[in-house]
Structure 1
Amino acid sequence: MLLDQYDHQSIEKTEGNKSIYKIGGVNMIETERLILREYTMGDFEALYEIVSDPETMQHYPAPFDVERTKGWISWNLENYEKYGFGLWAVVLKKTGEFIGDCGITIQNIDGEMLPEIGYHIYKKYWRKGFGKEAAIAVRDWAFEHTDYDIIYSYMKYTNVGSYNTAIANGMKRVKVYDDSKNTISYAYAITKAEWEKLR
């Protein structure tokens, strides 16, 4: 769906070039070029095109098959219910095209369950700043709407694009650790106090 199909009377808050909308009780974030909204099962085909692509998923153990893609959406729907957040679908504001996801999940980072900003953008939209734009909006949402004092991002050590996005999000590398899934993982983090200095 495009933003114009929603009732703009539902704007809850506007800050700079970012607005947070309340759509049927669900937060939806609008940035300069993007809309972040909750997943639906109707996103399956668009998501599968992205996560089944070997190049897009090169830093994962393997591209996703049909069942894992469905499970990914289900997992996020469960996260919305349990935590009030999860990975959100990222769509282009101008066209409504689904280009990936970005949001917060609780992840095992070196043995601790921690809030993590994750992002997955389709390869044809790499190097256009969409991951950074979405991640910054999610970071702001997290510190404004949760009680977390620190937010993380983690990635396989080979994923240069991902840790550059974390750095652009104001994060600093805080851990390098052995990870059975990634071989070696980097963890980046930003505290609420550090975030407040950026505003």
Structure 2
Amino acid sequence: MREAALKIENGAPRVMSTARLYGIRMSSLDFPDMWELNDDPSVAASISPTGVPLPEADQQRALERHIAHWEQHGFGLYVLHRVKDGAVIGYCGLISRLIDGEPETDVAYALKPAYWGHGYGTEAARKVVDVAFRSLHLPNVVCLVQPANKASRHVADKCGFQFEKHVDHAGLPHLFYRLHA
């Protein structure tokens, strides 16, 4: 099965960096920052299955799943910090998902609204794509975006992803993009 091929022997680097950002492998210490991000109604509108912030216990379980994902797959989400001041601005990384019954590696990202519109999402997503192709040697990655999320569609376009199809994910319609190595 293809899922076995996605188990990476050495895994992704624990830290990644760009000119303006650095990302550190997500850990349990990140819950306060992730709670702040995910509890924002503007963010939840695009990343929560219900469109509203999830209860604290659900967010804690989600963080635990993301931490376990690193252990299982050798890659996952990075908590993003600005280089100039260390501020936590969001997350970006790779998540293994079943989409339409097929295992895929999704480039996922979310930023705090104060950091929208500065190119940070594109910068982080490009670096994660680089990790996927250069460090993990994945043949391709995908990106799921809710149709109304124009900013995330713009990030996918700027990173070179190509629209492939419409899918349902987490009970919601999404645009499915793919980028080949």
Do the structures match in fold with TM over 0.5?
yes
The 8 Å contact of residues 48 and 64 in structure 1, kept in 2 or not, is answered as no
The alignment partner of 1:148 has SS state of coil
Q: CA deviation at 1:73?
A: 1.9
Q: Please state if 1:99 is matched with 2:86.
A: no
Q: Which structure has the bigger radius of gyration?
A: 1
TM-score by length of 1: 0.79
> Which string of whole-angstrom CA distances, capped at 9 and with x for unpartnered residues, describes residues 133-182 of structure 1?
00000000100122321110012111111111111111110111344621
Of 26-35 and 130-139, more deviation after overlay is shown by: 26-35
**Cα distance 1:26–1:173, how it changes in 2: closer, same or farther (>3 A)?**
closer
Kindly tell me the number of residue pairs found equivalent between the two proteins.
Answer: 167
The residue type equivalent to 2:177 in the other structure is: Y
Taking the TM superposition and a 5 Å limit, the aligned residue runs for 1:14-93 are 26-59=13-46, 60=48, 61=50, 62-93=52-83
Determine which of 130, 147, 150 is the counterpart of 2:120. Answer: 130
Which structure has more relative contact order (CA 8 Å, sep 6+)? It is: 2
What CA RMSD, in Å, does the superposition of the two structures yield over aligned residues?
Answer: 1.6
The alignment partner of 2:178 has SS state of strand
Of 105-114 and 87-96, more deviation after overlay is shown by: 105-114
The 8 Å contact of residues 50 and 100 in structure 1, kept in 2 or not, is answered as yes
TM-score by length of 2: 0.86
Q: Which runs of 5+ in 1 are unaligned?
A: 1-24, 193-199
The 8 Å contact of residues 28 and 67 in structure 2, kept in 1 or not, is answered as no
The alignment partner of 2:84 has SS state of coil
* Runs of 4+ residues deviating >6 angstroms: none
The alignment partner of 1:58 has SS state of helix
The 8 Å contact of residues 117 and 151 in structure 1, kept in 2 or not, is answered as yes
